[in-house]
């Protein structure tokens, strides 16, 4: 199992459909200034799930990998709470592409940029 986070990564807040996008380690450090609990999960671009230690100061691989369809479901819920339309039709070729959709804050279907 990998011992380093592959960016971009998404922070999935427990009990909330909001996701936070971390394109690099510096942005994850800024996110870690928020209250991160051990129930929040970080998913990297390879699907590796990471558990928070010391409020997000350190991250430990959980030993689990999030399937692409589960990651897409989280992203769909995130966009639905932002009142984006057609979120059920979202498709991505891989985890990195799914995560990159959050970089700009608005979903743009492929080929419609």
* 31 within a domain of the structure (yes/no): yes
- The pLDDT value recorded for residue 113 is 37
* 21 within a domain of the structure (yes/no): yes
Q: How many residues does the chain have?
A: 113
Q: How many domains does the chain have?
A: 1
* 112 within a domain of the structure (yes/no): no
- The pLDDT value recorded for residue 90 is 78
Query: If we measure between CA atoms, which residue out of 87, 89, 105 comes closest to residue 18?
Result: 105
Query: If we measure between CA atoms, which residue out of 51, 48, 52 comes closest to residue 71?
Result: 48
Residue 6: DSSP 8-state: P
Answer yes or no: are the C-beta atoms of 40 and 11 closer than 8 Å. Answer: yes
* 111 within a domain of the structure (yes/no): no
Domain span at residue 83 reads 1-104
pTM of the model as a whole: 0.81
Domain with 27 in it: what CATH number? 2.40.10.320
CA 64 vs CA 43, 47, 105: distances in Å: 10, 8, 27
pLDDT at 11 over 90: yes
Residue 111 dihedral angles phi and psi, to the nearest 5°? 80, 0
* 49 within a domain of the structure (yes/no): yes
pLDDT tens for each residue of 44-93: 999 999 999 888 888 999 999 999 999 999 988 888 887 777 777 778 88
- The pLDDT value recorded for residue 2 is 57
pLDDT tens for each residue of 100-113: 888 865 444 443 33
- The pLDDT value recorded for residue 109 is 44
* 109 within a domain of the structure (yes/no): no
* 69 within a domain of the structure (yes/no): yes
């Amino acid at each position: 199992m990998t011992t380093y986070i592959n960016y971009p990564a998404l922070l999935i807040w427990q009990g909330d459909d909001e996701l936070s996008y971390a394109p690099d380690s510096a942005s994850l450090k800024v996110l870690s200034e928020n209250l991160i609990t051990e129930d929040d999960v970080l998913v990297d671009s390879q699907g590796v799930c990471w558990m928070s230690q010391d409020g997000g100061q350190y991250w430990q691989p959980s030993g689990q990998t999030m399937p692409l369809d589960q990651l897409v479901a989280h992203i769909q819920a995130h966009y639905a709470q932002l009142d984006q339309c057609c979120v059920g039709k979202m498709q991505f070729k891989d985890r990195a592409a799914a995560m990159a959709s959050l970089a700009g804050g608005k979903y743009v279907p492929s080929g419609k940029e």
